[in-house]
Structure 1
Amino acid sequence: MLTHLTLRDFAVVSAAELEFGRGMTVISGETGAGKSLLVDALGFLSGLRADSGMVRHGAERAELSAEFDLADRAEALEWLREQDMLDDGDASAACHLRRTLRSDGGSRAWINGRPVTVAQLAELAGLLVEIHGQHEHQALLSKASQLDLLDAFGRHAAPLAAVRDAAAAWSALQRERDILSRAGDVSDRIELLDHQWRELDRETLEPASIVDLVAQHRRHANAAGLIDTCERALTTLEGDDAPSLLQTLQSLRGDLARARSDEPRLGEVDGMLDAAAIQIDEATRLLQRIRDDLDLDPDQFEALEERLGRLHELGRKHRVLPEALLDVRERLATELESLRNAGTRLTTLDGEIARAADRWSDAAADLTAARRAAAATLSQAASALIAELGMGGGRFEIALEPVDAGRPDPQGAERVEFLVSANAGQPPRPLRKVASGGELSRVSLAIEVAALGLDAVPTMVFDEVDSGIGGAVAEIVGQKLRALGEKRQVLCVTHQPQVAAQGHAHYRVSKAEAAGMTQSAVQKLGPKERQEELARMLGGVEVSREARAAAKRLLDSVA
């Protein structure tokens, strides 16, 4: 839902800020005051091509921004997440669109403060706002949107999901078959993989074993130096050519024992030396074991050298570290098994693909039947509304056009085309080819009301939907817009008091000359101001007592 719209230096608007709520909001004003500029601003925020002529005279750029509440728009929130345009931990459901139009013809766009392309802006805006009127940016003219609207009206979520799932299953099986078919004769590949697998299978490739191998190799490579170090340490500890370290400690302890009677604290020193003697004795024994374990065995060292060399060579061949060779062996085994079973799998795949196509055909037939029924119901309802909206003799039809893509289509076996005949005796034509903007707006309104606003877009904008009508028909248009506003947020630019009276909120756009320039201002109307505006719309420049009374009656009839 649109909550705020801000304009700066846009056409004749110096600055304007509007707040919107639920229901139907009407925008009125004198001819030329700029009331349709608000629709234009939403159009540019929805991705329309930049127009330097919309920059206010004397300004370098126009700035437009809109804020939307996405609390009930999971699809838009998911789009923002996929595009990484939601801050981590941001629990709010607000979305901010911003665009600048420069006087030199350039433009820039942002979503939630992040620079984006105009295409991204249009993609997101397409999930948020739909503009009906004399504009090219109208989602209802798109065949894809028409199909979505029909499926929403018919509540086809379940049969459509069945069609999509069946098409996805068929596509997955077909891709698998294509991959196997492209492989062709795989005997050479099998022979190569088998050779590589056997090379690896001859080795012990567990990571712990490789770590132990590296440690053994290092120890044997440095065995001579290690033995010499141990010998020198044992010579010092055991004292072959001089008193040993233990003997020196024992002599020292004797001297301290004789003096302990004069200084009791020497007993504590003696205890420390006793503990040190025990540690030295244990260290000596461990050094002896290590020295005895060390072996200058050239044959064993050569064997370790060869094994480590083979592992490094295999690692270079497969472009991995030796520790990752086990994963390579397992991957080769998996591919070997797959290739050896390829012939059998191709045979079974043909049957699975045929059965998947049959499942899609059954699901698509169910969806087609549901679409036909929904199209008939929606066509009848919209045609009745078109007549109510002042297009007597007009009718609305939905044509189902079969598609033959040669493969199961996730959208079903057909596309739809909305057709309309504005007058009796005229053949129906595609909605996108209807020439009159006013007729197009009223037809769009009839479709939306008939569909009860079931398409996913939460904000609908109708620009001059009441063009060329008046009196009772205008009142009906207003009632239909208000009814639509119960389901969706509706913004309506109007010059008909009967339509304006139906709004839940009312903005007036006025223009005045300041400093030699024409400027437009936007004001939200309170109850009294609103009655006065309706009186102006009813009576013209000179607002009479009768016009004010008629305006009050209009407002009272809605309340």
Structure 2
Amino acid sequence: MIEEIRIKDVGVIEESSLELSGGLNVLTGETGAGKTMILTALSMILGGKADASRVRVGSEKASAEAVVGVSTASRAWRRAEEAGAVDESEEGEEPREEELILARTMGAGGRSRAFLSGRTVPAGVLADVGGSLVAVHGQAEQLRLKSPAAQRRALDRFGGERLAELKERYREAFSRWLRARDEYERISSTSRERREEARQLQEALEEIDALELQPGEDESLKAESMRLENLEGLRSAGALASAALAGSEDAADAPNAVELVETARRALEAESDPALEALAERLATVTADLNDVAVEIAAFVTDLDVEGPGRLDEIQERRAAINALLRKHAPSVDEVLAWADEQRPRLEEIGQDDETLERLERERDEALAEAERLADELSEIRREAGRTLAERVSEELTALAMPSAELSVSVEPREDLDRHGRDEVALLLTPHAGAPAQPLGRGASGGELSRLMLAIEVVLAAADPVPTFVFDEVDAGVGGKAAVEIGRRLAMLARHVQVIVVTHLPQVAAFAETHVRILKGESEGVTSSDVTPLGDEERVTELARMLAGHETSDAARAHAQELLEDARSFAS
């Protein structure tokens, strides 16, 4: 709710601060005192058009600011978070009450600036935040329920839990239908491309499988190929190493490592010395190792002779086939094998397209049938709720001095479904007998429109609340008993939400929880207004002025006191 409004240099208001309560707040004052300027300031704060002509004469700029209490779980707070005006709430954090400060300045030259909790923002952000916090009723362009979408939402909330539960079931069916339909269309529209993809994948995988690749095979074949291309060098190195280690038939008298180490070992063993014996044992181990290496070298050379040129041809042919595959798919055998593993599920998926399409078609048709059935039920419940809403609002209009006016709720089906059903919802007003039903905002005066919206808001208050309602001209053209009924209904609405009313009627003002008087004065030839909250005695004086034109009349004061007592009796 709005906790405080601060205004500076707006029209006739030089500087004022207005504290508001959570119930019914009434603004009164003589014609021209500046009540309209408060609504002008509020319109600025809520992102409305900023008119430079509203800047007070002699001032460089006008400013208006509102301190608004909101829940951190509200749409307004989330929008403020998106705008960077407040810190974002932590996930899972419990909702709490916080303050938002909405402000606007208007320069005499026509430039305006908007602020949200101290941060400069576009005026549209203020309008977005304010639109979820305050509903202003007084002119057709200010109607909270002007759009068909807003009227449908209001009717759905009025329909209660039964409608809400059915709507949730409908949305689930509608979402299932959308998913199945979109997936069916996606697969159907790409069936030719998918078949070609499957053919190419099948050929590629068959080619890979036919080669029976082994992990790392390209590198091992490369190494073997290099070895076979250097056979003579390998044989020569092997022979030389083998002769040096263990000797050869061609050089039987030449010394070799095994014989030399063995000679050394025997020389050490010949002496009976523990240290030399230990070294001799180590030389025995060396001899065994040298023999083993010599044997392995001989085997290596023998294998070279067995493999020969035939094996090299074999390897080169295999490498050529593998390289052709690598050029198509990946730089290495390991990557080719990984790619193949990734593509096999894809091939299987595409291969099941026919089955998938049959399943999706079945799911799509079943979900659509369910959504259409629920949409029909939704339409019927909306019609029932619409009839009840229309009856209650029409009853309220009778009490508000519009006895011939009737509200009707039109629920007409469209051909296509959307996430809300298939209904076009419209609230229509018949202002008097014989007149055609027209959309809200047409065919009604400003006062009639305000009373119509008051009647609607009173009926919707518990089901579709907005934190703050502002009514202007709600009492235009009425008086007497009808004025009392307007006051009562404003008080009824204020039990659920904050209500701010600009009124000329004492019967309405008597129901206020907070009564503010706008008083016009003049200083040095410049008109100014002062905003003053009234206490009990001051309220009697103000109501007497509104009743009789002057506050000193005993009869007027007695009548004013009676109005206050009757209003308090209603409130209790």
Measured at CA, do residues 115 and 180 of structure 1 come closer, stay the same or move farther in structure 2, by a change above 3 Å? farther
**2:539 corresponding residue in structure 1:** 530
| Equivalent residue for 2:181, pick from 168, 174, 183 | 174
> How far apart, in 2, do the equivalents of 1:347 and 1:397 lie?
46
User: Is contact 1:6–1:65 with CA below 8 Å preserved after alignment?
Assistant: yes
User: Is contact 1:453–1:488 with CA below 8 Å preserved after alignment?
Assistant: no
**2:454 corresponding residue in structure 1:** 445
**1:138 corresponding residue in structure 2:** 143
Measured at CA, do residues 336 and 67 of structure 1 come closer, stay the same or move farther in structure 2, by a change above 3 Å? farther
**2:405 corresponding residue in structure 1:** 394
Identity %: 35
> How far apart, in 1, do the equivalents of 2:388 and 2:527 lie?
50
> How far apart, in 1, do the equivalents of 2:536 and 2:566 lie?
14
Measured at CA, do residues 29 and 353 of structure 1 come closer, stay the same or move farther in structure 2, by a change above 3 Å? same
User: Is contact 2:544–2:550 with CA below 8 Å preserved after alignment?
Assistant: no
User: Is contact 1:392–1:424 with CA below 8 Å preserved after alignment?
Assistant: no
Larger Rg: 2
Q: Does 1:123 align with 2:113?
A: no
Question: Alignment partner of 1:413: what SS?
Answer: strand
> How far apart, in 1, do the equivalents of 2:334 and 2:33 lie?
76
Structure 1 unaligned regions, length at least 5: 214-291, 293-298, 300-306
Measured at CA, do residues 422 and 115 of structure 1 come closer, stay the same or move farther in structure 2, by a change above 3 Å? same
Question: Alignment partner of 1:404: what SS?
Answer: strand
- CA deviation string 1:490-538 (max 9, x = no partner): 1111010000000111111112122432222211111111111111111
**2:509 corresponding residue in structure 1:** 500
Measured at CA, do residues 89 and 362 of structure 1 come closer, stay the same or move farther in structure 2, by a change above 3 Å? closer
| Equivalent residue for 2:197, pick from 186, 189, 193 | 189
Single out whichever of 463-472 and 518-527 deviates more from structure 2: 518-527
**1:463 corresponding residue in structure 2:** 472
**2:62 corresponding residue in structure 1:** 62
**What letter is aligned with 1:393?**
S
Measured at CA, do residues 190 and 370 of structure 1 come closer, stay the same or move farther in structure 2, by a change above 3 Å? same
Q: Give the superposition deviation at 1:95.
A: 2.2
**2:108 corresponding residue in structure 1:** 103
**What letter is aligned with 2:188?**
S
Measured at CA, do residues 313 and 341 of structure 1 come closer, stay the same or move farther in structure 2, by a change above 3 Å? closer
**2:285 corresponding residue in structure 1:** none
**2:15 corresponding residue in structure 1:** 15
Question: Alignment partner of 2:401: what SS?
Answer: coil
Q: Does 1:362 align with 2:373?
A: yes
Q: 5 Å matches for 1:334-483?
A: 335-405=346-416, 408-483=417-492
> How far apart, in 1, do the equivalents of 2:505 and 2:524 lie?
32
Q: Give the superposition deviation at 1:548.
A: 1.2
Measured at CA, do residues 514 and 312 of structure 1 come closer, stay the same or move farther in structure 2, by a change above 3 Å? farther
Number of aligned pairs? 463
Question: Alignment partner of 1:57: what SS?
Answer: coil
Q: Give the superposition deviation at 1:432.
A: 2.3
**What letter is aligned with 1:110?**
F
**What letter is aligned with 1:368?**
S
Q: Give the superposition deviation at 1:316.
A: 9.0
Structure 2 unaligned regions, length at least 5: 91-95, 221-292, 294-311, 313-321
- CA deviation string 1:38-80 (max 9, x = no partner): 2222223333233222222233332222222223863433444
Q: Give the superposition deviation at 1:465.
A: 0.4
User: Is contact 1:66–1:97 with CA below 8 Å preserved after alignment?
Assistant: yes
Measured at CA, do residues 450 and 342 of structure 1 come closer, stay the same or move farther in structure 2, by a change above 3 Å? same
> How far apart, in 1, do the equivalents of 2:43 and 2:392 lie?
29
Question: Alignment partner of 1:87: what SS?
Answer: coil
Measured at CA, do residues 535 and 101 of structure 1 come closer, stay the same or move farther in structure 2, by a change above 3 Å? same
Measured at CA, do residues 453 and 190 of structure 1 come closer, stay the same or move farther in structure 2, by a change above 3 Å? same
> How far apart, in 2, do the equivalents of 1:541 and 1:13 lie?
24
CA RMSD of aligned residues (A): 3.7
User: Is contact 2:379–2:413 with CA below 8 Å preserved after alignment?
Assistant: no
**What letter is aligned with 2:61?**
R
**1:519 corresponding residue in structure 2:** 528
| Equivalent residue for 1:150, pick from 155, 165, 182 | 155
**What letter is aligned with 1:149?**
A
**What letter is aligned with 2:143?**
Q
- CA deviation string 1:199-235 (max 9, x = no partner): 9999999xxx9xxx9xxxxxxxxxxxxxxxxxxxxxx
**What letter is aligned with 2:467?**
P
> How far apart, in 2, do the equivalents of 1:326 and 1:14 lie?
82
> How far apart, in 2, do the equivalents of 1:534 and 1:316 lie?
93
Measured at CA, do residues 67 and 316 of structure 1 come closer, stay the same or move farther in structure 2, by a change above 3 Å? farther
- CA deviation string 1:291-315 (max 9, x = no partner): x9xxxxxx9xxxxxxx9xx999978
**What letter is aligned with 2:58?**
G
- CA deviation string 1:231-261 (max 9, x = no partner): xxxxxxxxxxxxxxxxxxxxxxxxxxxxxxx
Measured at CA, do residues 3 and 187 of structure 1 come closer, stay the same or move farther in structure 2, by a change above 3 Å? same
Single out whichever of 482-491 and 508-517 deviates more from structure 2: 508-517
**What letter is aligned with 2:410?**
A
> How far apart, in 2, do the equivalents of 1:315 and 1:40 lie?
71
**1:4 corresponding residue in structure 2:** 4
User: Is contact 2:133–2:466 with CA below 8 Å preserved after alignment?
Assistant: yes
Q: Does 1:94 align with 2:99?
A: yes
**What letter is aligned with 1:428?**
A
User: Is contact 2:67–2:100 with CA below 8 Å preserved after alignment?
Assistant: yes
**What letter is aligned with 2:481?**
A
Q: Give the superposition deviation at 1:146.
A: 1.3
Question: Alignment partner of 1:455: what SS?
Answer: coil
**What letter is aligned with 1:101?**
M
Q: Give the superposition deviation at 1:331.
A: 6.2
> How far apart, in 2, do the equivalents of 1:330 and 1:533 lie?
87
- TM-score for the superposition, normalised by structure 2: 0.72
> How far apart, in 2, do the equivalents of 1:145 and 1:336 lie?
49
Single out whichever of 115-124 and 191-200 deviates more from structure 2: 191-200
**1:49 corresponding residue in structure 2:** 49
User: Is contact 1:194–1:336 with CA below 8 Å preserved after alignment?
Assistant: yes
User: Is contact 2:81–2:88 with CA below 8 Å preserved after alignment?
Assistant: no
Single out whichever of 11-20 and 354-363 deviates more from structure 2: 11-20
**What letter is aligned with 2:74?**
A
